[in-house]
Amino acid sequence: MRVTLFDYGAGNLHSLSKALATEPGVEVHVEEDPLRAVDTDVLVLPGVGAFGLAAARLAPGRNTMRLALERGLPCLGICLGMQLLFDSSEEGAGKGLGFFAGHVQRLAARRVPHIGWNQVDEDSTLSGAKLETVYYAHSFVCRVADPSLVTAWTTHEEDRFPAAVRRGKVVGVQFHPEKSSTSGVAFARAFLREVRS
């Protein structure tokens, strides 16, 4: 199974690559070209960086990538990667993929960024890995037009926001599985096993 991380020029992809490669039979590749990134079995949008820069790197292949997702290409969007699955963000200019209708907004909280461990409520994202407590590092959250696509919730101070969203084989998570200890790695592996079957 070929898993491709789309590299939009920010962040450390090493820990994420390492976590995904723990699943037997998985080969992880890193691709900077959004048009070539969809030539894969699973696309991963990693979770470090700023929306504006990432959207600019995505722009030349935005329509191709969106079409690939609509046609059933499995995708895991992590933190910023989840936000790129939405229409736009107040963090920066540019368009996201618009696979999920909605907008990314700054956390409505006194303490921003939200960094550290937090509980997950009502998780129904994957049958193979139940989310309970995971690691976050973010200042912006997704506001979903259709709440039925939210498969898990988290609350920081008074702001309740999606911890995970899902439509078909596309999953977005606001937390970092690769930093969420064994349960986070188990979640990433369960996603790969589910979309492979």
Residues serving a catalytic function are 79, 176, 178
DSSP β-bridge partners for residue 119: 133
- Please tell me the distance from the alpha carbon of residue 75 to that of residue 81, in angstroms, as a whole number: 10
Q: Rounded to the nearest 5°, which phi and psi values hold at 34?
A: -65, -25
CA distances from 178 to 25, 64, 91, 100 (A): 18, 27, 24, 23
Question: E strands along 10-74, which residues?
Answer: 27-31, 42-45
